Structure 1
């Protein structure tokens, strides 16, 4: 064997020996998420012992200090006879933590109600627990808390719930009330019948969802421009039956009657026998022929003859 080949083999064997004999190195202050501290948490180059537990972790959200002597004793128990301390005399071990408080529990209840389809558009929900719930620090490893069960019936206020905290370490049973409201239109002033509703006539106020369902929820775009059917008082909750499209033609109004046939358009004067909103039918007296005909209100003061074609004389 040539000297160069011998030198190469010696170098390879030396490198392999150095790698095999490389001692773990203490990492210094660490943060863990689980309930135990592993060899890999404490040391670089942990090797086959990486997942082996070496210490119990402190409580979630807290920090503990471990001195070098305790580390050496614990390492020896799991089979690590020596390690590089990097000049450290002690290290701090912090366990990550997440706070479980009333807001988080409320959010879990709201998510469940939403999943049941009980929270429609515009619904505001107020949850009140029957007792104060002290904030709890739990592990950040996974979901901090989950809703195990919720007993609640739509239309009622009372509920009860069970929450299971992270790592199944603790159960919280609570009860309380759930109030659901939705904003509904109310009149801002006393208004006479026939008033065309404008934004300044309406004020939105919260109403229990059950009451809103009974009255019939109406969005603002379906209210503005409508006409009040009767004299109404300030603060009145508007229902669908309280409003209707404004009249284009009122009874006894003088109107223009339009009749179209092909390219020809005939107009005559008339008088409304009945009232109608735009697009609705009404009866009109032709002041020339003195005949009452059916027509459709197409604009204020204007109607158009509808139905089967009639002779001009029939108008």
Structure 2
């Protein structure tokens, strides 16, 4: 039993020693992030030499082939005399990248404007460059581009911006214009006058901030439940002046006229001469006396007067 244990221990020692002394094994293809390719990038079992640089990586977003002769020359310079080539004649080396395009850079500009309070509430910004921007393959970083400076002129909407892009030696300068807009309520269909507006009567569409300031717009929640003042067409921008509080009593409606004093309530039939929203005054014809009186709309088909009951003939 002791002999068997000794043999097993010896085999384990030989195997572990062999594993520790195993030559690095060349990979067939590698993807790197940094601008320098290291031994650890190129080989399995790189050991203590893993962090040693071998050669420059290709540009971000590109791929190159390194032949075996160049690899042997590079490893010799750092003291790596032997490795397992694994039957390879060359290694494919790719450099990871992050795409920096107009969308990303525009987002950085918009974010900066929001942090300054220029884009308050629901204001939106559309960035238009003065010249086209070809997408840039930047270094693969969590933040591949940063806004360095931004100069914005609200009067004409022009801007100039400088960005720092990972992997570019020089800063990137861009210019153009920024169009500010807000979403406004437009009618989804043709509607007659007096329609009490509901959420499904609207579609939200962007309009320029200048147009919104000039014409005046109202939040959607202020328009829902209001009545159209006139017949309106599909696509019309709805402004506060286009709506009013819905009529509780419309012109020519037959109504009950109420007069209350203490526990006594007197009523008489009448007809609205004008329309009115709830709790607002209107003119009503007393159908008994044929006199027009002033009353207040209190509910559909009901109005209330505050004058003495003697004005209500027949009560």
Provide TM-score, normalisation by structure 2.
Answer: 0.77
Please, which runs of 5 or more residues in structure 2 have no aligned partner? none
In structure 2, the partner of 1:80 is 80
Residue 42 (structure 2) pairs with residue 47 (structure 1): no
Does the 8 A contact of 1:284 with 1:295 survive in 2?
no
In structure 2, the partner of 1:211 is 211
Does the 8 A contact of 1:142 with 1:166 survive in 2?
no
Q: Distance in 1 between matches of 2:79 and 2:151?
A: 52
In structure 2, the partner of 1:91 is 91
Q: Distance in 2 between matches of 1:45 and 1:80?
A: 12
Does the 8 A contact of 1:108 with 1:147 survive in 2?
yes
In structure 2, the partner of 1:226 is 227
Q: Distance in 1 between matches of 2:115 and 2:212?
A: 21
Matches within 5 A, 1:47-66: 47-66=47-66
How far 1:125 sits from its partner (Å)?
A: 3.6
Q: 1:207-238 CA distances to partner (integer Å, 9 max, x unpaired)?
A: 32133134332245616751427x99999854
In structure 2, the partner of 1:35 is 35
Matches within 5 A, 1:246-265: 246-249=246-249, 255-259=255-259
Which 10-residue stretch deviates more, 289-298 or 213-222?
289-298
Q: 1:140-184 CA distances to partner (integer Å, 9 max, x unpaired)?
A: 233222222222255641111111111463411111111123354
**How many corresponding residue pairs?**
306
Structure 1 residues 46 and 186, CA, compared in 2 at 3 Å: closer, same or farther? closer
Q: Distance in 1 between matches of 2:232 and 2:220?
A: 18
Which 10-residue stretch deviates more, 53-62 or 203-212?
203-212
SS in 2 for 1:180: strand
Residue 294 (structure 2) pairs with residue 296 (structure 1): no
Does the 8 A contact of 1:157 with 1:179 survive in 2?
yes
SS in 2 for 1:59: coil
How far 1:45 sits from its partner (Å)?
A: 0.9
Q: Distance in 1 between matches of 2:113 and 2:120?
A: 6
SS in 1 for 2:248: strand
In structure 1, the partner of 2:105 is 105
Q: Distance in 2 between matches of 1:246 and 1:5?
A: 98
Q: Distance in 2 between matches of 1:198 and 1:269?
A: 27
In structure 2, the partner of 1:148 is 148
In structure 2, the partner of 1:126 is 126
Q: Distance in 2 between matches of 1:241 and 1:107?
A: 36
